[in-house]
Amino acid sequence: MAGVEMFINIRRIHKYQCAQLLTTGLLLSVVMVCWEPLDHHVVSHLVSYSYRYLVNSYDFLGSGGRRPGPTGGEAAGYPYLINHPWKCVSEDGKGWEDVLLLLFVKSSPENFERRQAIRDTWGDEGFVSAQLGVNVRLAFAVGVHPDARRRSRVQRALLREDQVHKDLIQQNFVDTFHNLTTKLLLQFHWSQMYCPRARFLMSADDDVFVHTPNLVQYLLRLSSTQAGARNLWVGHVHKGAPPVRRRTNKYHVPYDLYPWPSYPDYTAGAGYVVSADVAAKIYRATLLLDPSMYIDDVFMGMCAQAMGVSPREHAYFSGQGKAPYHPCIYDHMITSHGHADDVRSLWRKVTDRSAHGSPRGLLGNLYCLAVRAMLLCLPNHQKTYSCRAAFT
Ligand SMILES: *[C@@H]1O[C@H](CO)[C@@H](O)[C@H](O)[C@H]1NC(C)=O
C-alpha cells in the first residue's frame, strides 16, 4: 500500500513540476519575444533615470564638452527679415511698458490660419488687458519657407499679414524641424534685446491651446510673493528622458551629438513659462553652448542645467495630448496640445465660463473632483494630465 501511495505521489509531483516547467518556459519565451520593445522602453528608461542625477549635475559649460562648431551666439545672428523693436516699449517711447507676459509662439511660415486663430482667441492682447487688467505681448517666431520655389510667394503673404497684425518676428533661416533650436535662439535673443522687462516669457507651439485667464492668474499669484517671480521655469517636465537612438525615429539623436544616456530634465516644448531672470540666464548660456542639439526643448534643458536652473512641474501644463473637454477641467487647465480647428470653439467655452465664473459650492466642487478623477485617472483615457492633477 505504502509503495503504491508513494508511486502516485511521485506521479503527482511530476505532473505538478511539469506544469511549472511549462509555465516557466512559456513565460520566458514571452519575455524573450517581448525583450526588444521592453529593452527599448522600460530598460532604457530605467538606465537613463539612474543616470539622471549625474547628468543633471554635470557641468556642460565647464567640461570642455564644446565641439568646434559655432556657439549659439553666432548661430543666432541670422538677420531679421521682419521685426518689431518697439513691441515692448511704452507709448511715449521713453521706457519699457510694464509687460506681465511675452507670449512667443513658434509658428511656420505657411500656418496663416493657426496664427489667426490664436490672435482671435488666447493670444488676444486686447482681451487680456480689458478682462484681466494686465499687459501681454504676442509674437510669432518664424523662419523662411523651406521650399525655395514657394518661398517668395509665401514671403509676400507674410509681409501682408504682418502689415495688419504687426506680430511676426522672422529671421533669415530655413524653417525646418532641424532648425527648431535656431528658433529657440531667436526667441531668447529677441526677448533679451527688445523685451527684457517682461516679467515672464512663454514659449508655445502654434497647435497649443493656452488658457490665458488661468495662466495670468497663476503668474499674478506668483508675482505677489517675493520669491515666486524669480527662478521660475514651469511646464510639463520630462525627467531623465533617454535619447532616442533608433535611426528611423524623428527624434533620433546620434551618439556624437549627445553621448550620455539621459537628457537633463526639461519641460515639453509645447508650452512652458520662464521668469525674466531665467530668460536672461538662458540667453547667456546660448552664447556659450554649441547649439547643434536640434531638439529645442532638450537644448533648453542643457542651457538651464548649465545655469543651475531646474524645471518645476505643473500638473496642468500638457505634454502630448488634448485636455478632455469638460468645464471641470477648464477651471484648472493651463495648456493643452494638438489643437488646430477647435481653438475657437474651446475659447468660447472657456471664456463663457469665466464670464459667469461663480464659485461652485461644496457639492459642485465634489462633483468636479469626481469628474476629473474619472477623466484623468481611468486608464482608457489619453494621458494629457497625470491622475494627480485631478486632486490639485
Ligand atoms: C537652418 O537654416 C540655415 C540657414 O537658412 C540653413 O543653412 C541650414 O541648412 C538649416 N538647417 C537645417 C538642418 O535645416
Tell me, what DSSP letter sits at residue 321? Answer: S
What are 117-144's pLDDT values in tens digits?
999 999 999 999 999 999 999 999 999 9
C-alpha cell at 236: 510639463
> How confident is the model over 215-232, as a mean pLDDT?
90
Nearest CA to ligand 1 atom 5: 173
The rounded percent of the chain whose pLDDT value lies above 90 is: 58
Listed by start position, the domains of the chain span: 1-57, 75-313, 327-391
Distance 297 CA to ligand 1 centre (A): 18
| CA 101 and chain centroid, separation | 17
Confidence of residue 29 (pLDDT cuts 50, 70, 90): confident
The rounded Å distance from CA 173 to ligand 1 centre is 6
pLDDT of res. 1: 47
Give the tens place of pLDDT for each residue, 32-43.
Answer: 666 655 556 666
Tell me, in angstroms, the distance from the centre of ligand 1 to residue 203's CA: 21
Q: What are the CA-CA distances from residue 7 to residues 4, 12, 17, 118 (Å)?
A: 5, 9, 15, 81
Q: Ligand 1 pocket check: which of 179, 184, 253 to mutate, most ligand atoms within 8 Å of Cβ?
A: 179
Q: Taking 90 as the threshold, does the pLDDT of residue 56 lie above it? A: no
Quick one: average pLDDT of 257-284? 94
Q: Specify the pLDDT at position 205.
A: 96
Is pLDDT at 74 greater than 90 in this prediction? Answer: no
What is the spatial distance between Cα 94 and Cα 115, in angstroms, rounded to a whole number?
A: 30
Q: Which of 74, 80, 174, 253 to mutate to test the pocket of ligand 1 (most atoms within 8 A of CB)?
A: 174
Angle between helical axes of 296-306 and 276-288 (0-180°, round to 10): 100
Ligand 1: which residue has its CA nearest to atom 11? 179
Residue 102 CB neighbours (<10 A): 27
User: Any idea which architecture 75-313 has in CATH?
Assistant: Alpha-Beta Complex (3.90)
User: What is the pLDDT averaged over residues 109-116?
Assistant: 97
- The pLDDT value recorded for residue 353 is 62
**What separation in Å is there between the alpha carbon of 172 and the centre of ligand 1?**
10
Higher pLDDT, 209 or 330: 209
| Closest ligand 1 atom to 176 CA | 14
Question: Which residues, judged by CB distance below 6 Å to any ligand atom, belong to the binding site of ligand 1?
Answer: 173-174, 176, 178-179, 182
